[in-house]
Structure 1
Amino acid sequence: MTSTFSRIVRKFGFALALASCHQVPAHSTSLCEAHEKPVFSCELKNSKIVSICTAPDGAPSYIEYRFGKPAKIEMTHRVIRPDQAFQRADFIYGNNAVDTIWFRNGEHLYDVTMPARGAPAVEVWKNRKILAHIECKDGWKNVEGVTDLKSPLIIDHGEVDVSNRDKLWYEKQ
């Protein structure tokens, strides 16, 4: 009886240890591939994911915005040249600051907004009007990435008064 019991315990313990070492999350909060560096990624309240991913060290440089689900990415925007770079600024408000990474795609402006207070979100703008604002599910809890990553494909404007946002967003650089 004792040997049967110890054999069951050993098998159960081994299976439990194996399962804990190889657990796969129910869903990923990133559309970045395993070899890429996430700049920003989160699952949104609409169950889709927004990710900004960069090339791994030593690889040809790129940065790419991805939106959708792992099985169906709905939109990508890849930059490989500095003249097409994403832009970043820390917009200062009266009682808040919002780190923002943005890019233009035709008539649309896409920005990932990361406030010091409040939930990060993705926004889509057209003709200076907001078309969509979708916050990250659970606020900052499921955000991944290195948002201040230095890259020749991200123009960093530093701290900027929010009154200058439109100038940065809509005037040619």
Structure 2
Amino acid sequence: MGYVEFGLRVFLAGVFAVAAGGKRGTAGRQEFVAATGRLLPSRFAGTARPVATVVRWLEWAIVLLLVVGGAGAVAGFALVLLSSIGFGLAIVAALRRGEAAPCRCFGASSAPLSRVHVARNVLLALAALAGAWLAPGGVAAIPVAPGLGVAGVLVALVAGAVAAALMVRLDEVVDLFGAASTPGAPPR
């Protein structure tokens, strides 16, 4: 079970590191602040900048906690769960208001908000639940062998990194397969 928990930590830390890193620089921060303002209810639109700042720091905190492991990983999994639920609900509310501007979750993007973004947050929340369940000292408190083998760690590391890359590029993956399966869609 230690390998799965480690792979989930790599996966989620990778996703949140790319998300936090995509908001670097003046242009990245400004685009994310604007996107945050579109996600917030209109009565909170004036709080977009501080909310965006908190989100960026939260993403970096998640990465740090997941990298540290142990009790920090359990806290990191909990923050991923809470933030994914919050982001998902904000996206659902924005979609209900008819908002279709690009999501700036991972920096510059032309993909408009959609159910794909909600699904991504559901998958992140499920991964966080599984990680919290499997983490030493976590919900299940399953004893884990103290030493993980090098081969198992490498497999978990690669699997987590590949899953993170796919999650970060989910818009493009869905677009690629969606266009390929749509009759009459222009070739790419």
Q: Normalised by the size of structure 1, how large is the TM-score?
A: 0.25
The structure having more radius of gyration, on CA atoms, is: 1
If asked which structure has higher relative contact order (CA below 8 Å, sep 6+), I would say 2
Q: Which has the higher strand share?
A: 1
Q: Which has the higher helix share?
A: 2
